[in-house]
Structure 1
């Protein structure tokens, strides 16, 4: 049983070194660490019992007799002999650290309430045939997709949904915070994916309002981007605007492209929709005006605070990594300098 003492000594030294590193990283006293699953600490008993059983079953090493005491003393233990129990100690320390990691240590000092600012936004994009006009580069649709992509990227905390409309309306994405997927969907939008022979602004507004029914945010916004006039059957844009007003949803309209006299365009209706709902009506005749429009829209949109749950910073990895390093060092020592032979 005497062999247990050096093993425990090395284990305690390695454990103290690892815990010192944890305290240094956390930047606080270890007493501020709490355990989410403390019962896992009982697994630390297993390596201790295994070590005790092993020590009890290990036979005493053979002895050598010397005729002179001076000769025996001159053959004192070397460095390898003094460190013979180091791998066992490191293995025991690693097992204890793993037990502590399983108990899910967390920092009580770092407990905080997660909050972020955001609103829910629905975007309705026109996919009618006139969006192929090249007065914006390379055409109206591609220019619109580019500014919408940048808009989404600059609203990281908002839930954003999107619908597209031509002769009828279709959902591109429900409200989501997965902006990576949403931006991919925006980039894939192409003319011809919907019947673009007409412009159903009312249907686009109506479907976008339906997407916002999924929202419980205090602030909800609808952004309508079109280059034409409502000329399809179905929902009347003014009726959709009245519903938006009743629900407290601000509608921001963007009329894109240069329109000569006689072309099918109704800026007055877009201004009426925006004014009724407390939004704003923009006109973007060129690329720079479109970029400026969305920049101004970003500045106008307020942010509402959304509170999350209380959380604690997870610290298990601060015990897991030292354990893995100790096990690696154990393997290296056993296969090199402190290798044992039968």
Structure 2
């Protein structure tokens, strides 16, 4: 099969190469202007007779190519190994996780977001045969990972989940549910569940009607409420201070259980408040067990051949060459 990059998003770093080239061009212009300011041209040539523009160019090329190799190495070029056909029975599950700033409230320790992560980790361990997708949402929803049996990749995405992943703040449940539904096979009318993990803080009037529509498509919404009805202030990690409203009052974020309960009820799902992680995982696993399982033919690669060491090794060699390569002309005795 074709080569592929494991972390293709890192390749955006290659956009820095043109900036490095522009910087090099600016340095050349600066050197030229500086020499012109010195004065007598012949005197300048005598003073800089040992300087080699060609060597300076080579040193720059070493650095630029090394930078490109480091970025490519981080993206990890890989080639799939032998393919193994695996037949498994399972359910398609989309985990829609709220990553709004209200999830940083610490009414459950250490905070709502971290407890949600802990539940997802334990739940994935209990669902080895199910395909899992991940949607992160706040003021907008983003598909972080499509349906896959690669739970190790899912854990990585969950670990990185946080308010900084979704710039627009808020809790838009409608968009989260709509985005989650796009991960499913629209031709199937069963074997599908959305696990909605949120504090449900902002009331979203379009969420329940959408849930009723999803139920007709065979989607079961199982909601997990994170937080407490009493609520808690939200600590902003940037300012290290509690969030305040326009009047200067400390904002108290409260768990909105009624809306989450309505969403679950509309699709014959279950609502669970995340108090004890183990109990919540057991209850969710039991609920998912009520959904019929379907046989899934999954093409899983046994291993991958990774090429990042070649890129990083080449980058190291180029950096060593750049360090020892002289900028002055070689003198022959």
The normalised TM-score by structure 2 is: 0.53
Over residues 126-178 of structure 1, what are the superposed CA-to-partner deviations in whole Å (9 max), with x where a residue is unaligned? 01111001122221101111110121122111111010110111111111111
Q: 1:190 aligns with which of 135, 156, 162?
A: 162
Q: 2:173 aligns with which of 201, 207, 215?
A: 201
Q: 1:253 aligns with which of 223, 237, 252?
A: 223
Match of 2:36 in 1: none
CA distance in 2, matches of 1:213, 1:257: 32
Instruction: Give the unaligned 5+ runs of structure 2.
Output: 1-84, 232-251, 299-333
Over residues 269-294 of structure 1, what are the superposed CA-to-partner deviations in whole Å (9 max), with x where a residue is unaligned? 2212111111011122x3x2x43112
Q: 2:108 aligns with which of 136, 141, 146?
A: 136
SS in 1 for 2:163: coil
CA distance in 2, matches of 1:147, 1:140: 11
1:160-309 to structure 2, matched below 5 A, reads 160-195=132-167, 197-213=169-185, 216=188, 218-231=190-203, 236-260=206-230, 264-284=254-274, 286=275, 288=276, 290-302=277-289, 304-306=293-295, 308=297
Aligned residues: 192
Q: Contact 1:118–1:159 (CA<8 Å) still a contact in 2?
A: yes
CA distance in 2, matches of 1:196, 1:143: 22
Q: 1:196 to 1:254 in 2, by over 3 A?
A: farther
Q: Contact 1:120–1:215 (CA<8 Å) still a contact in 2?
A: no
1:49-128 to structure 2, matched below 5 A, reads 115-128=87-100
Alpha-carbon distance, 1:196 to partner:
5.5
Q: 1:191 to 1:263 in 2, by over 3 A?
A: closer
CA distance in 2, matches of 1:206, 1:295: 27
Over residues 284-320 of structure 1, what are the superposed CA-to-partner deviations in whole Å (9 max), with x where a residue is unaligned? 2x3x2x43112111122125141659xxxxxxxxxxx
Alpha-carbon distance, 1:116 to partner:
2.4
Alpha-carbon distance, 1:268 to partner:
1.8
CA distance in 2, matches of 1:117, 1:175: 14
My pick for the range that moved more, 249-258 or 236-245, is 236-245
* Bigger Cα Rg: 1
CA distance in 1, matches of 2:296, 2:254: 46
Q: 1:304 to 1:188 in 2, by over 3 A?
A: same
Q: 1:274 to 1:201 in 2, by over 3 A?
A: same
Alpha-carbon distance, 1:264 to partner:
4.9
Match of 1:153 in 2: 125
Q: 1:190 to 1:251 in 2, by over 3 A?
A: same
Q: Contact 1:164–1:171 (CA<8 Å) still a contact in 2?
A: yes
Alpha-carbon distance, 1:237 to partner:
0.6
My pick for the range that moved more, 151-160 or 216-225, is 216-225
Q: 1:209 to 1:149 in 2, by over 3 A?
A: same
Over residues 22-68 of structure 1, what are the superposed CA-to-partner deviations in whole Å (9 max), with x where a residue is unaligned? xxxxxxxxxxxxxxxxxxxxxxxxxxxxxxxxxxxxxxxxxxxxxxx
